Amino acid sequence: MGLLEKFLDLVTIDSPSDPTSPTCPSTAVQLNVANHLEQLMKQLGISNVRQKDGYVYGEIPATPGYEGKKAVGFVAHMDTAPEFNGFGVKPQVIPDYDGGDVLLGGSGHVLSPAEFPVLKSLAGRTLITTDGTTLLGADDKAGIAEILEAAERVLNSGLPHGKICLGFTPDEEIGRGPLKFDVPGFGADIAYTLDGGEPEGMTFENFNADAAVITFTGYSIHPGSAKGKMKNSQNIAMEFHSMLPCNERPEYTEGYEGFCHLTDSKGSTEQTVYQYIIRDHDLDKLLAKGETMRRAAAFLNEKYGEGTVQVEIKESYRNMKEKILPVFEVITVAEAAIRAAGLDPVRMPARGGTDGATLSYMGLPCPNLGTGGMNAHGRYECCTLEGMEQCVQIVLQVIKGYAEL
């Protein structure tokens, strides 16, 4: 089973996660992937294959004489995004793609370079798409397939290496990927997630993230006799929102620029609740955004009465950069591997969080490498076999790089 076959095999197994479920994994279908991976890894000759709570682990022991080298890990997630249909995936494989429009099965939807210009650069490659009714699942089954393919080649090639650790997680798409990840049992000194992005991309910076819940308390009375008495919490909530910098919203920011994003609102005259996510690569700037909210609340409490506005801000995750920089070799080795695969490395700050960020704070420095996937979480998701092959080569070069340190 080659790289393409591994990928197609994986994407046809349903595995959406569910943010409303309290279980781990959040959906039973993810266990179908976990069980399949466990069996496949054993067939490939990977050692110490084991599964717990839907997490699948395995390892390739160090080549004799290389036991003292750092153990390197590779991690990918098995779940697909719950916000778009991930059941019944029927991938399309288009050899020698011509760079033009692609009809996605019989769905009537078209993957077009007019909307996605990068497609023009993929002419001549083997393009893999959906049929337009589901997402593809390249996020992150491309990562799993690439890790397994690299592992198989290591086992069959005699490439000298230190200990190699493999880990596949559930529920990354709902922010729970590292929830029960066994860092000590995993056995790696450093690791890389493979999760989305161009093959030449690597990420060791992500947002610092907080979550804010703002509760506005009003006073309801018959509108016919409300003058000087009614306090409409919804109007106060809108006033609060207008006091936050409008240029610091997601639709106006990019790169290293942070934002405050109103994600949910629910209200009545008596009570309104706004939920925000707050993001910034710079921790001081993140904390300043929270302080802006508190100052706005203090102003409104003075205007409408103490207790009218209550602000609750909780930490969500932090920038992995703080944990990566002290072990900078995880970056230099990866960038050398990308160059060895014939690409120019690009450092890409993540405008979001990653499993690697949480794992880094759990004691496992873990930047992210690309998988070659594009347009994730929707019907236009796609990847190319050639891009995936580049990612396999990068993994192999990372393994080689650590063996040579």
The catalytic site residues sit at 79, 172
Pairing outcome for strands 72-77 and 164-169 = parallel
Q: How far apart are CA 319 and CA 284, in angstroms?
A: 12
Side chain identity at residue 46, one-letter code: I
Q: How far apart are CA 57 and CA 50, in angstroms?
A: 5
Q: How far apart are CA 266 and CA 22, in angstroms?
A: 23
Cα distances from 235 to residues 134, 225, 308, 362, in angstroms, run 40, 18, 12, 43
Q: How far apart are CA 31 and CA 19, in angstroms?
A: 16
**30 and 17 in contact (C-beta within 8 Å)?**
yes
The length of the chain, given as a count of residues: 405
Q: How far apart are CA 192 and CA 190, in angstroms?
A: 7
Task: Identify the bridge partners of residue 308 per DSSP, sorted by sequence position.
Answer: none
- Matching residue, tokens 């083997």: 126
- Matching residue, tokens 């197994």: 13
Main-chain phi, psi angles of 241, to 5 degrees: -60, -35
Cα distances from 98 to residues 92, 113, 127, in angstroms, run 15, 11, 10
**259 and 248 in contact (C-beta within 8 Å)?**
yes
Cα distances from 291 to residues 181, 220, 257, in angstroms, run 34, 30, 17
The residues near 96 (Cβ < 8 Å, ≥ 6 apart) are: 124, 125, 126
Number of C-beta neighbours around residue 379 at 10 A: 21
Is the backbone peptide bond immediately before 25 cis, with ω within 30 degrees of 0? yes
Residue closest to 277 by CA, chosen among 242, 251, 299, 249: 249
**Angle made by CA atoms 378, 76, 90, in degrees to the nearest 5:** 40
How far is Cα of residue 43 from the mean position of the Cα atoms in its chain? 29
- Determine the longest span between alpha carbons in the chain, in angstroms: 87
